[in-house]
Structure 1
Amino acid sequence: MKSTAKREPKPRPRPTASETEFVEPADESAGGWTTLSNGGVANLTALLRWGAWLLLIAGPLLGLAAFLRPAAPAGAAQEPPRAASVTAKDTSGPAGFAQLYVAAYTEAGKGTEASLAAYFPLMRDISLEAAPHTQRADRLAAVRVKEVSPGYWSVTVAAHVAASKKAATKASTTDSDQAASAGAVLRYFQVPVKAVAGGGYVAAALPAEVSAPTTGKGLDLGYGTPVPADTHDPATATVSQFLAAYLAGAGELDRYLSPGTDLSPVSPAPYTQTEVSQVAELGGDFRTNPPASEGARRELLVDIWTTAPDGQVRPLTYAIALKARDGRWEIASLDAAPSLSNPSKEK
C-alpha cells in the first residue's frame, strides 16, 4: 500500500539584496501603505534637498526687500489724497467781504470804531479822528482780486463816495466850494483779506486808497465794417423781428428760433420799441441777400436802439448766430460775447 502521509511544502527562498526591498501587500487597500522603489526614494530625497537650498537662498533676499520697503507709522492708516482747495478759485467770498468792509470804513468815525472790529479785529486799538457818518459809499464793486498766497487775497474795491445828506446840507450853507465837491467821486480801495477757520474772512489791515486801474485801449473785433440795417434783407429782418419779440414782447419768440435753441423773452419787457441800426458780419463784409443754403451759418454783430417806457432811447449791441433752414434764416444763438479779431493776443 502507498503511504498517504501529506508532504510539507518547501519554504520559499528569502529575497536577496538585489530584489525589492519592500514587499507590497497583495491587496494595497488592506495595508493602506504605498511603497516606493529605491529610485523613487532617491528622487524624493533630491527634490527635498533642492527645496531646502532654494529656501536658504530666498530667505535673505526676502528679508532685504522687507527692510528696504518704507513702513507706515504703527497704528496710523494711510492718508487719503487731499481734495483740491477751492478757495483759490472762488473769489466771490473775499470780494464780498472787502466791499462790506469798505462801506463800513467810509462811514466810520470817532466813537464808531467798534463797527469796523467785525472786519478788522485790531481796530479796537485804533482811534479815529474824523466825524462819523459824514460820507457814504454807493455802488461798490470788486474790480480786482489777486491771490497773494493760498487763502490770502488783495481785493481792489471801487466805490462812489459822496458826502452824506447832513454833511452836504451843512456844506451848502457855509462854503460853495465845499458844496461843489460834495458830489459822488469814484475812488478805489485796496483791502487785504485772509480766510479763517469756519469759512469766514478777516482784514489784515485798514484799507489803502489807490489809483484807478488802467482801463486799456479798445479791442479789435473780428467783424467787417458795419453797414446800415436794411430790413428788406432776410437775415436783417429775422434779427429785427427776433429782438422786438425778445426785448419788447412783440410777438412769439419761438417762431424765430432754430430747432434746439432755447431762449426766453426778457420779462417784464424793458422796452416798448427796438430798431436795428447797423449790422456787421464775422470774417468780412456783410453779405446782402445770400442764399439760405440748408445748414449754412452766419455770425453777426448787431447794433440797435431801444426805447424805454419813459421814452428814453438807449443803444445795445448783440452778437447773434444765424442758421439756414427750409430756405430761411433762424436764430441759432445769442453769443456770450463778440468775437475778437485775434483772441490769442488779447490780454
Structure 2
Amino acid sequence: MALAAGPVALFGSCSWPAPVAPAAPVSAARPAVPERLADPGVAGFGELFLGLWLRSGTSEQGLAARALKAMAPSVRVPVWGKRPPVVEALAAVRTVRVGDGVWSVTVAAEMPDNTVGEEYGETGAGVRYFAVPVALTDHPQGGGAWTFTAGAPSEVTGPTAGQLPDSSYGARVEAGPLADSVTGFLAAYLGTSGGAERYLAPGVVLSSVSAAGYRAVEVEQIFADRSGSGQVPGADGVAVHVCAEVVARDAAGRRWPLSYALALTARAGRWEIAAVESGLTVPRTTS
C-alpha cells in the first residue's frame, strides 16, 4: 500500500533544488519565522515514533514497546504474531502544521516483500506511507524544556508522480571551450583527474567528490539555456547555465547515470564554474 498526504514528486535528472557552490558569500539573513513552525524535530520525532511502533508488535514487553508506551501511553501496540513486517528504512517526507503546536508527519516506510495475502502468496508494495500526528509543547517555565507526544499512525495513500517544469536547457552544446570546461570540471569534481579548483571562478569553494571512488567519467551530452557556439565571449562576466548528463564508472565497473546543473561565467578568455545549481531552478538567459 502506498500513501502520502499530497504530492511529493520524485525528480530525475538535474532535479534537486539545493545549490551547492555559490559564486560569492551570500547573506544568511532569513525572514523571521516562529520557531515552532520550522522546528525540524517534529519530522524526526514522527519518524522515530513510527519506527518504534512498527517494531513494538514483535513483543509487548520488548524494548521498542516500552519506549513506545513511554512516548505515547494511549497508543495501542500492534500484534504481528509470527510474521512481523520487515522494515528496511524510514523517512519523513512531508510535515503539515494542522493547529497550534500540532503537525501531521507523513513517513515513508520501505517494507519490501511483506505478505498481504498469505494464501495466495501476494506481497505488498515496496514503500508504504503512514501519517503520524505529532504535538510539541513548550513548558511555561522555559529553560529549553519541551514535550513531544504522538497519536496512533494512519496508513495513507502515496504521492502521485509530478511533472518537471519545462526545461530551459534547450540548446545543445557542441565541442568547444564551454564543453571542455564542463567536461574537465566534472571529471575533476568526481575525483578522476585531480582537484576541481582550477576550474572554479574566484570566490567559489568546492571540494571534489572522493568517497565514491569513481574511476572514469563520461559526459554524454550538455545542454545550455542560451544558444551559441560555446566560444568564450570577449567581455568578462557573461553567464551561461548548462545541464550535463554524465555516466560515472566506479572500481567495480558499475555505471552511475548522473546529471549536473552548472552556472559558468566568462573571465580572462575561459569559462569558469560559478555554481553547482539545482536542475529545477529555471535560470534567466543572459546575453
- State the TM-score, normalizing by the size of structure 2: 0.74
State the shift of 1:325 in Å: 1.7
Match of 1:321 in 2: 263
Rounded to whole Å, the distance in 2 between the matches of 1:199 and 1:133 is 37
- Separation of aligned partners in 1, 2:267 and 2:253: 37
1:270 to 213, 222, 229: 213
1:202 corresponds, among 149, 152, 158, to 149
2:252 to 310, 321, 344: 310
Contact 2:88 2:109 in 1 (8 A): yes
Out of 14, 27, 35, the residue aligned to residue 86 of structure 1 is 35
Code of the aligned partner of 2:148 = Y
Q: Confirm or deny that 1:154 pairs with 2:104.
A: yes
Residue in structure 1 matching 2:68, options 108, 116, 133: 116
Query: What SS class does the counterpart of residue 137 from structure 1 fall into?
Result: coil
Cα shift at 1:213: 2.1
**Equivalents in 2 of 1:84, 1:287: separation in Å?**
46
The root-mean-square deviation of aligned C-alpha atoms, in Å, is 2.8
- The letter for the 2-side match of 1:306 is A
- Paired with 2:54 and 2:77, the residues of 1 have a C-alpha distance of 15
Where in structure 2 are the equivalents of 1:1-347 lying within 5 Å?
85-90=34-39, 92-109=40-57, 111-112=60-61, 113-123=65-75, 126=76, 128-131=78-81, 134-162=84-112, 177-178=120-121, 181=123, 185-196=126-137, 197=139, 198-203=145-150, 205-225=151-171, 227=172, 230=174, 232-282=175-225, 284-285=226-227, 287-289=229-231, 291-340=233-282
Structure 1 residues 138 and 295, CA, compared in 2 at 3 Å: closer, same or farther?
A: same
CA contact (8 A) 1:301 1:338 kept: no
Distance in 2 separating the partners of 1:262 and 1:117 = 48
Distance 1:200 1:137, change over 3 A: farther
Larger strand share, 1 or 2 = 2
Report the alpha carbon displacement of residue 207 of structure 1 after superposing the two structures with TM.
0.4
**Unaligned 5+ residue runs, structure 1?**
1-82, 343-347
Q: Greater RCO between the two (CA within 8 Å, min separation 6)?
A: 2
For structure 2, the 5+ residue unaligned runs are: 1-31, 140-144
Over the matched positions of the two proteins, sequence identity in percent amounts to 34
Q: Return the TM-score normalized by structure 1.
A: 0.62
In structure 2, relative to structure 1, the CA distance for the partners of 1:269 and 1:84 (3 Å cut) is: closer
Return the letter of the residue paired with 1:199. Answer: W
Bigger helix fraction: 1
